Protein backbone atom coordinates (compact mmCIF):
# COMPACT_ATOMS: atom_id res chain seq x y z
CA UNK A 1 0.00 0.00 0.00
CA UNK A 2 2.87 2.32 0.89
CA UNK A 3 4.45 1.70 -2.54
CA UNK A 4 1.23 2.58 -4.37
CA UNK A 5 0.92 5.83 -2.43
CA UNK A 6 4.56 6.67 -3.23
CA UNK A 7 3.93 5.97 -6.93
CA UNK A 8 0.91 8.34 -7.01
CA UNK A 9 2.88 11.10 -5.29
CA UNK A 10 5.75 10.64 -7.75
CA UNK A 11 3.36 10.82 -10.73
CA UNK A 12 1.71 13.96 -9.36
CA UNK A 13 5.07 15.68 -8.86
CA UNK A 14 6.26 14.69 -12.34
CA UNK A 15 3.02 15.89 -13.94
CA UNK A 16 3.06 19.25 -12.17
CA UNK A 17 6.74 19.82 -13.02
CA UNK A 18 6.00 19.11 -16.68
CA UNK A 19 3.00 21.48 -16.61
CA UNK A 20 5.21 24.26 -15.19
CA UNK A 21 7.65 23.76 -18.07
CA UNK A 22 4.89 23.93 -20.68
CA UNK A 23 4.97 27.01 -22.94
CA UNK A 24 2.16 29.48 -22.10
CA UNK A 25 1.10 29.86 -25.75
CA UNK A 26 2.28 26.77 -27.63
CA UNK A 27 2.16 24.12 -24.89
CA UNK A 28 4.29 21.15 -25.89
CA UNK A 29 4.33 22.32 -29.51
CA UNK A 30 7.08 24.79 -28.67
CA UNK A 31 9.44 21.95 -29.61
CA UNK A 32 8.31 22.26 -33.24
CA UNK A 33 9.36 25.91 -33.21
CA UNK A 34 12.64 25.25 -31.35
CA UNK A 35 13.68 22.33 -33.55
CA UNK A 36 12.51 23.41 -37.01
CA UNK A 37 15.49 23.03 -39.40
CA UNK A 38 14.20 25.91 -41.52
CA UNK A 39 11.66 28.69 -41.09
CA UNK A 40 9.52 30.15 -43.84
CA UNK A 41 8.40 33.78 -43.62
CA UNK A 42 5.73 35.36 -45.78
CA UNK A 43 4.21 38.72 -46.59
CA UNK A 44 0.53 38.02 -47.24
CA UNK A 45 -2.64 39.72 -48.44
CA UNK A 46 -4.70 41.07 -45.52
CA UNK A 47 -7.87 39.06 -46.14
CA UNK A 48 -8.09 35.28 -46.62
CA UNK A 49 -9.48 33.96 -49.91
CA UNK A 50 -12.07 31.19 -49.98
CA UNK A 51 -10.57 28.03 -51.45
CA UNK A 52 -13.04 28.06 -54.37
CA UNK A 53 -11.88 31.60 -55.27
CA UNK A 54 -8.14 30.91 -55.04
CA UNK A 55 -6.17 31.31 -58.26
CA UNK A 56 -4.37 28.21 -59.48
CA UNK A 57 -0.60 28.71 -59.52
CA UNK A 58 -0.68 31.26 -56.69
CA UNK A 59 0.70 30.34 -53.26
CA UNK A 60 -1.49 30.55 -50.16
CA UNK A 61 -0.81 30.15 -46.46
CA UNK A 62 -4.02 29.20 -44.65
CA UNK A 63 -6.04 30.94 -47.37
CA UNK A 64 -3.94 34.14 -47.29
CA UNK A 65 -2.35 34.84 -50.70
CA UNK A 66 1.45 34.99 -50.50
CA UNK A 67 2.97 38.20 -51.87
CA UNK A 68 6.57 37.49 -50.88
CA UNK A 69 8.28 34.53 -49.21
CA UNK A 70 11.66 33.65 -47.82
CA UNK A 71 13.05 30.38 -46.49
CA UNK A 72 15.67 30.65 -43.76
CA UNK A 73 17.89 28.01 -42.24
CA UNK A 74 17.67 27.54 -38.46
CA UNK A 75 20.63 29.78 -37.63
CA UNK A 76 19.42 32.64 -39.86
CA UNK A 77 15.95 32.36 -38.30
CA UNK A 78 17.15 32.37 -34.67
CA UNK A 79 15.74 35.86 -33.97
CA UNK A 80 12.32 34.82 -35.32
CA UNK A 81 12.36 31.62 -33.27
CA UNK A 82 13.36 33.47 -30.10
CA UNK A 83 10.71 36.15 -30.63
CA UNK A 84 7.95 33.58 -31.28
CA UNK A 85 8.86 31.70 -28.10
CA UNK A 86 9.16 34.88 -25.97
CA UNK A 87 6.06 34.77 -23.77
CA UNK A 88 6.41 38.52 -23.11
CA UNK A 89 5.35 39.19 -26.72
CA UNK A 90 1.81 37.95 -26.06
CA UNK A 91 -1.07 39.53 -24.12
CA UNK A 92 -3.10 37.09 -22.07
CA UNK A 93 -6.77 37.57 -21.28
CA UNK A 94 -6.97 40.66 -23.51
CA UNK A 95 -9.29 40.96 -26.48
CA UNK A 96 -8.56 43.88 -28.76
CA UNK A 97 -11.62 45.11 -30.63
CA UNK A 98 -9.85 45.95 -33.91
CA UNK A 99 -10.34 43.68 -36.96
CA UNK A 100 -7.70 41.10 -37.83
CA UNK A 101 -5.95 41.99 -41.08
CA UNK A 102 -3.14 39.61 -41.98
CA UNK A 103 0.22 41.05 -43.04
CA UNK A 104 2.85 38.41 -42.30
CA UNK A 105 3.08 34.69 -41.62
CA UNK A 106 5.81 32.50 -40.19
CA UNK A 107 5.86 28.73 -40.65
CA UNK A 108 7.82 26.24 -38.55
CA UNK A 109 7.95 22.54 -39.48
CA UNK A 110 9.60 19.63 -37.75
CA UNK A 111 8.89 16.29 -39.35
CA UNK A 112 5.14 15.97 -39.86
CA UNK A 113 4.24 18.61 -37.27
CA UNK A 114 3.97 22.30 -38.05
CA UNK A 115 3.12 25.60 -36.39
CA UNK A 116 2.14 28.60 -38.50
CA UNK A 117 1.55 32.05 -37.04
CA UNK A 118 -0.43 34.59 -39.07
CA UNK A 119 0.36 38.13 -37.88
CA UNK A 120 -1.56 41.38 -38.10
CA UNK A 121 0.69 44.41 -37.68
CA UNK A 122 -2.12 47.01 -37.67
CA UNK A 123 -3.85 45.51 -34.68
CA UNK A 124 -1.01 43.48 -33.10
CA UNK A 125 -2.81 40.14 -33.15
CA UNK A 126 -1.91 36.61 -34.17
CA UNK A 127 -3.67 33.43 -35.22
CA UNK A 128 -1.82 30.19 -34.52
CA UNK A 129 -2.39 27.19 -36.76
CA UNK A 130 -1.18 23.83 -35.46
CA UNK A 131 -3.23 21.06 -37.14
CA UNK A 132 -4.40 18.30 -34.84
CA UNK A 133 -3.66 20.17 -31.60
CA UNK A 134 -5.67 22.12 -29.04
CA UNK A 135 -3.90 25.34 -30.06
CA UNK A 136 -5.05 25.10 -33.68
CA UNK A 137 -6.76 28.33 -34.80
CA UNK A 138 -5.93 30.02 -31.50
CA UNK A 139 -6.29 33.82 -31.56
CA UNK A 140 -4.00 35.82 -29.29
CA UNK A 141 -3.13 39.49 -28.97
CA UNK A 142 0.44 40.76 -29.21
CA UNK A 143 2.18 43.65 -27.52
CA UNK A 144 2.57 46.79 -29.63
CA UNK A 145 5.72 46.74 -31.80
CA UNK A 146 6.14 43.04 -31.14
CA UNK A 147 9.57 41.62 -31.87
CA UNK A 148 7.81 38.74 -33.62
CA UNK A 149 6.57 41.08 -36.36
CA UNK A 150 9.87 42.99 -36.47
CA UNK A 151 11.92 39.78 -36.81
CA UNK A 152 9.66 38.46 -39.59
CA UNK A 153 10.07 41.74 -41.50
CA UNK A 154 13.85 41.40 -41.13
CA UNK A 155 13.60 37.75 -42.21
CA UNK A 156 11.84 38.73 -45.42
CA UNK A 157 14.79 40.87 -46.44
CA UNK A 158 17.49 38.37 -45.38
CA UNK A 159 19.46 36.31 -47.91
CA UNK A 160 17.41 33.23 -48.65
CA UNK A 161 17.40 29.82 -50.25
CA UNK A 162 14.12 30.74 -52.01
CA UNK A 163 12.43 34.07 -52.50
CA UNK A 164 9.30 35.17 -54.37
CA UNK A 165 8.45 38.78 -55.05
pLDDT of residue 37: 95
160 band by pLDDT with thresholds 50, 70 and 90? low
Whether this model's pTM surpasses 0.85: no
Choose the weakest-confidence range: 2-11, 24-33, 87-96, 134-143. Answer: 2-11
Task: Return all residues near 95 (Cβ < 8 A) that are at least 6 apart.
Answer: 141
d(CA 127, CA 80): 16
pLDDT of residue 133: 86
pLDDT of residue 96: 84
Per residue in 139-164, is it b (16+ CB within 10 Å) or e — as a string?
ebbbeeebbbbebbeebbeeebeeee
Of 63-67, 75-79, 93-97, 149-153, where does the model show the most confidence?
63-67
pLDDT for 129 beyond 50: yes
Amino acid sequence: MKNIYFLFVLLAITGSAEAKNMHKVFGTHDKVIKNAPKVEVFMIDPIPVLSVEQIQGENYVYDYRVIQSNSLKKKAASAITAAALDTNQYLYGVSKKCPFMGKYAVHFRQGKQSVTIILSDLCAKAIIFCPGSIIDKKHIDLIENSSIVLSVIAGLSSPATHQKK
